[in-house]
Structures are given as C-alpha cells and as structure tokens.
Amino acid sequence: MGLPTFAYIARDASGRRVTGRAESASETSLLAELSAKGLAPIRVNAARAARAGKGVGVRALSASYRQLSELLRSGVPLLRALRLLGRGKSNPTLAKAWGEVADSIAAGERLADAMGRHPRIFASVHVAMVRAGERGAFLEPVLARLAALLEQQADLRGRVIGNLMYPVVLLLVGAGVVIASLVFFVPKFREFFNKLPSLPLATKILLGASDLFTEHAFAVVLMVAVFATVVFLLARKPTVRFWCAKHGMRVPLIGPLFASIAVARFARMLGTLLENGIPMLQAIEIARDSVGNPVLGQSLLRAAEAVRQGEQLSKPLAESGLFPEDVIEIVSVGESSNTLPSVLIRLADTLETRIDRALSTVLKLMEPAMLLLIACVVMFIFLALVVPMMQLSSQL
C-alpha cells in the first residue's frame, strides 16, 4: 500500500499562498518536509480520507469531545478513552473514526495527526486546537472549549432555522393551496367559460395557469428539475457563490442579518482559536474558511496580509466595510489591552443576541406579508372566476 496523500496549504518566504498534494508517512513528516523547503504550513489534510469520509452531526461530535474531555479530567489515559469512544453505539460513523484514531495513537502518532486523517469528521479548526493543546499540555480544557464552541454554533444554527420554519411552512401551505385550486377547482369552470364570447384578462391568465398544471404537468416538473439542477451546479462555483453573497448582503433586513451571522461566527471562531494558543495568522486562515460567507472570507484574506505586514487586525476589518463601527472599536480595544481572545468571544455573544432580536423583527414583518400575499392570490382566483359570471348576469 502506498503512502497516504495529503493536501496542503502553505506560505513561501515571500508570503505567497502555495497549495499542493504530497505523499508522506504522516502529517508530522509532511510538515517537516514543507519546512525544509522553506514553506510555512497553514493547513494539511489527508486527501484520501477527505474523499472517502462521511460527516457526522455537530451535536454528536460536540458530545464526543466533551466526553473525551471528562474522561481525561477523571484520569483515564488517552488511548483507553479513545477506545471507549470507539465502542459507542449511538453514532457508528463517529465511533469508527474514534476507533481508527485510537489505532493511530497506538501506532505512535499524536492525537492531532490522527484526527487529521479524517477531515470530513474533524475539521481543520478542531485539529489545530487539539494540536495546540497537545503542545501546551492543556488538551483537556481545549477539548472542553471545542465542545462548547460546537454547541454554541449548533444553538445559533438551530435558532435561525427554528425561527424561519414557520414562514417556510406557511409559504409551502399557501403554494399547495393555490396549486390544488388550479388542478382540481378551476377546471370545473372551463366548460362554462368556453360558452362565453369573451373573457376578462384575469380569467384567461387563471385558465392558462390551470392548463399548465393539468395538461402540461410533466413539462412543469421537468422544467423545475432542470432549473434546480442548474441552480445546484452554479451554486458550486466560487464566482457564483461570491456574486450571490455580495448582492444578497444588499437586500434590506435579510442581507445585514446574514452578514451579522457570519461576523458572529468569525468572532467566536477566531476568539476560540486565539484563546487556545493558535498563532494569529493561522487562526485568521482557519476562521476565514469557517465563516461560510465568501465576501467576508475575501476581506479576511486581505486582513491576514495586513497583519502579516505588522498592522493591527482592526484596521483591515474597518476598511472592509463589513463590520459595524462598534465591532471595530471593540476589536481595537481588545488588541490594545492584549485581551483580544476573550473580547472576541464576548463580542460573539453580543452579536448572537442582536441576531435573535433581528430575526424576531424580520419574522414579525414576514408573517403578515406572506399572509397578505396568499390572500391576494386567493382573491385573484376568486375574482377571475366570479367576474365573468357577474358580467353574464348583468347582460341577462
């Protein structure tokens, strides 16, 4: 069997970003090889594992980190604790990954290197934090902080999805009622309307929409499938994602809300990384890939370059125009007082509170707007059916 293949991102002596793939016995040996070539590694992932791996739920992973932290705090040796996690029954995929990590530990690897072989399960930020904990001999608190980080991210995602659930259900129910009316109710009036010499424009539009969903249903389904496929393929292109994110941030209410979510995610991620001993530049690189917003990611790339040249982080963040002034001021104070990690984590808490309030405001506006839209569509259908009858009655 050949050596495992790793994908790496590094910086050369001039600060230029270098990416590539290489075969090596382990992640540690590859790091040594890159350093010998004058490259400063930023991230190293096991390429084969990335293709074959399968992700697990955030809450399940958080629970396993917390369990491992508690086992280590209780004095259980690392290998024995990993073997215990590998025998878990609730999540076979995660248990298998922990079992393979335990095998690698038994073979002499470090925990971070062993976790790095499963990048679809253990993200680069997790591996970086664990590596810092191993080097600084504070692995147990790092695992506890990592569990807390994942729990907070899951809670934020759950609040956003939960708040949006009712409007989505309302929209789907409304669309279902309209389509059912076009398919089952409107066709019953066609024979009557065919006897009339002329029809209002609204009635013609209604009958045309009914024909589209009854006589050409297959074509409609095919068009929807083609449209969904095209959207899916375009969404995978970085340029399209960047364009959508850039213009989506300009949408009133919704744009600033999702920008705030990305900023809160960045603040919590960067603060947690710095708090666990990750160097600033590496922490920015990892946080940049974790924010989920390509516009913010590009701004953070420029911020990393500015920090590399000796500037403070708050200056390039202010120049990006994506961070509110109070956020910039808080970051600047944290840098001046040398308390940036804790300041960023408190800032993330504040931003998430703002996000909850903003979500509540958006939903208060969305619900009546959607109800009004559904009522308008139903009223349109009603008038399109009744007006021809009223015209015929007046003629008689």
DSSP codes joined into one string, 220-239: HHHHHHHHHHHHHHHHTSHH
Phi, psi of 286 (to 5 degrees): -70, -45
pTM for the whole thing? 0.64
Residue 351's Cβ-side half-sphere holds a number of Cα atoms within 13 Å equal to 29
Residue 245 is predicted with a pLDDT of 78
Rounded to whole angstroms, how far apart are CA atoms 183 and 214?
Answer: 6
- Tell which phi-psi region holds residue 108, choosing left (phi > 0), alpha (psi between -120 and 50) or beta: left
Predicted confidence at residue 26, as pLDDT, reads: 65
Kindly give the parts of the chain with pLDDT less than 50: 1-2, 48-54
pLDDT for residue 15: 66
248 and 360, same domain (yes or no)? yes
Please report whether residue 126 resides in a domain. Answer: no
Indicate whether 57 belongs to any domain: no
Q: Each residue of 360-387: pLDDT tens digit?
A: 887 778 888 888 888 888 888 888 888 8
**Same domain? 175 vs 304:** yes
Give the end of a domain, one of 34, 52, 70: 52
What pLDDT score does 46 carry?
58
What are 159's two structure tokens? 């609040």
User: Domain with 264 in it: what CATH number?
Assistant: 1.20.81.30
Instruction: Kindly report, residue by residue over 208-266, the tens digit of the pLDDT.
Output: 888 888 888 888 889 989 999 998 888 778 788 888 878 877 887 777 888 888 888 88
Same domain, 162 and 14: no
Identify the pLDDT of residue 50. Answer: 36
36 lies in some domain: yes
- Structural domain range at position 21: 5-52
Measured distance CA(341)–CA(343) in Å, rounded: 5
In a domain, 123, yes or no: no
| Number of structural domains the chain divides into | 2
- Note the pLDDT of residue 226: 94
Give domain status of residue 22, yes or no: yes
> Do residues 159 and 41 both lie within one domain?
no
CA-based max dimension of the chain? 96
In a domain, 355, yes or no: yes
What letter does residue 17 receive in the DSSP assignment? E
